[in-house]
Chains A and B, each alone.
Chain A
Amino acid sequence: MISFNQVSKRYPGGFEALKNVSFELAKGEMAYLSGHSGAGKSTLLRLIAAIERPNTGAVLVNNQNVSALKSGALPYLRRNIGMIFQDHKLLFDRSVFDNVQLPLQICGSDHKETGKRVRAALDKVGLLGREKSNPIALSGGEQQRLCIARAIVNRPSILLADEPTGNLDAEYAQEIMNIFNSFHQVGVTLLISTHDTGMLQSNRVRVITLKHGEIQTAPPVTQEGSGQAASSKPSVLSAAEGSGL
């Protein structure tokens, strides 16, 4: 579903955010992207959604070379990717309902269908009763959930989450992880960046660790065979901890 092939990204000014990164994420797979802040997690996610373009290498999404897409084709790529931002990027000039409605308006779905889908998405994240509120009236956790509702209302096949639990306490964070797990169960491909090592421990999921822009450990840890996954955990965790978090 998502494939990085020797991708490097250097920002103007010489900072090298990603160095020779290669990995693959299969369809329906769920993985954490871990690493210290500044390790290149956000950059990696942004390359998938073509918010930025790599200097070298190829980023493939659905067998499509994203880095070679014309700008006119980008909207159609992004419609297939639900993005969850650490800073939510909600619009405070409209209601919760209208925030979630935006992706559907962009795709031009009809009115009746829109209402149904928005409520289904809000229901999924437990905000059904708040559709008329302004997002500013929501707590941090609720805002994050609203952002998730907006990302999934379009039923994308890929979900990217950038530090979705970054500012939340453990209870809220667990709630959100449960939501992600439920998407995983219905076959959505998920890539979740986090520096929350506690979360990595509590969920048996593949972890891709970045350190100074490079992939730290060999990623191929399949989810079948939990014993295998468990055995690979310590090395991943030590890598994450060793990165100065």
Chain B
Amino acid sequence: MSALSQHAGVARVALRRVFASPVAGFLNILVIGIALSLPAGMYVLLQNAQGLVAQLSGPPQISLFLTLDANADNIAQLRRQLARNNAIGKIEFVSRADALEKLGQSNGLADVIAGLESNPLPDAFVITPKITAARSLETLRDELQKLPYIELAQLDSAWAYKLEAILEFARIMVLILTVLLSLALIAITFNTIRLQIMTQRDEIMVAKLIGATNTFIRRPFLYFGAIQGLLGGITAWLIIALSLYLLKQPLATLSQLYASNFALQPLTFSDSFSLMLFSMYLGWLGAWLSVARHLSRIEPQ
């Protein structure tokens, strides 16, 4: 109980120190908040983009073109085989006659088609897999290719690869930004704590003289870093929430024009929690590094 109340006391002292000079304290927190809101905000947009792209492009499909010698029995058997595969969702059969008809309708090639002696198109299955990851789709395609009477299994995958490449690119960018700005946050805290240690030199010296352990001396600085980091994280969260709020209306108008009902999703509870915890940890780490570097130099004389 005593140890707990001691920690509470130290936390209170540290909180008071954060706002000892209100303007400087607030600016520090704002800088941390802005620095963190950039990668965190990009992360939110990335999550939303993923949802949007999936919504616009529809699910991926695999086309199975059958050999020309496949008869009705073969086709029925193949259909049963496909239905047993867990990875496959919807199965649609397109007969060669239907395919020819569709081709004639859609591309205005009716004359050309009418001139053909026989139908050159094969029967086909168009299946919709339940899975979406590019790598697994490829495996499924290879698996289907091996079935009897399949001339060609074609994965409609170009879009999936492109999408994944774009998202991967964005993800790496967010990652780089996160690393860089995290370092900046650590540096900010490091410097703030350094200044504090310098101004509290006398106090540290006296405390050492009358028997303070390093843990005791370090504690308020670590609390300071953690509190400043946490407040920075909360600021970042508020910046993101406000930005999303401001973007909401224009985006709704835009998506209506595109006949879509897309809406920006805010940070989830667990993402918000992680953001604040991460920010707090970075503040603590910056303080720890600073204290480790500067405290040992102050020895009583």
Contacts and interface: CB of A to CB of B under 8 A. Distances in A.
Interface of A: 49, 51, 72, 75-79, 83, 89, 91, 93, 102-103, 105-111, 150-151, 154
B213 A75 contact: yes
B207 A102 contact: yes
Contact of B2 (A49, A76, A93, A110): A110
B209 interface: yes
A102 B5 contact: no
Contacts of A151: 210
> 6 smallest A-B Cβ distances: which pairs?
A79-B211, A78-B211, A75-B211, A106-B212, A75-B213, A110-B2
B2 A106 contact: no
A107 B6 CA distance: 11
Interface in B204-229: 205-214, 216
A106 B209 contact: no
A102 B209 contact: no
B203 A83 contact: no
A111 B210 CA distance: 19
A78 B210 contact: yes
Interface residues of B, number: 20
Nearest to A81: B211
Contacts of B210: 78-79, 83, 102-103, 106, 150-151, 154
A83 B206 CA distance: 10
Contacts of B208: 75, 78
Nearest to A113: B2
B216 A51 contact: no
A75 B212 contact: yes
Given A108-B6, A110-B2, 14 more contacts: A51-B301, A72-B214, A75-B208, A78-B209, A79-B211, A89-B206, A91-B202, A102-B206, A103-B211, A106-B210, A106-B212, A106-B213, A108-B2, A111-B5
Given A51-B301, A79-B211, A111-B5, A106 B216 contact: yes
B166 interface: no
A150 B213 CA distance: 17
Interface string B227-253: 000000000000000000000000000
Contacts of B56: none
A49 B300 CA distance: 11
B3 interface: yes
Nearest to B10: A105
A111 B214 CA distance: 22
30 contacts: A51-B209, A72-B213, A75-B212, A75-B216, A76-B211, A77-B211, A78-B210, A78-B211, A79-B210, A83-B209, A83-B210, A89-B206, A91-B202, A91-B203, A102-B206, A102-B207, A102-B210, A103-B210, A103-B211, A105-B6, A106-B210, A106-B213, A106-B216, A107-B211, A108-B2, A108-B3, A110-B1, A110-B2, A151-B210, A154-B211
A2 to B, nearest CB: 17
B14 to A, nearest CB: 14
B60 to A, nearest CB: 63
A106 B3 contact: no
A51 B207 contact: no
Contacts of B209: 49, 51, 78, 83, 89
Contacts of A77: 211
Nearest to B209: A83
Contact of A91 (B6, B206, B214, B301): B206
Interface string B167-206: 0000000000000000000000000000000000011011
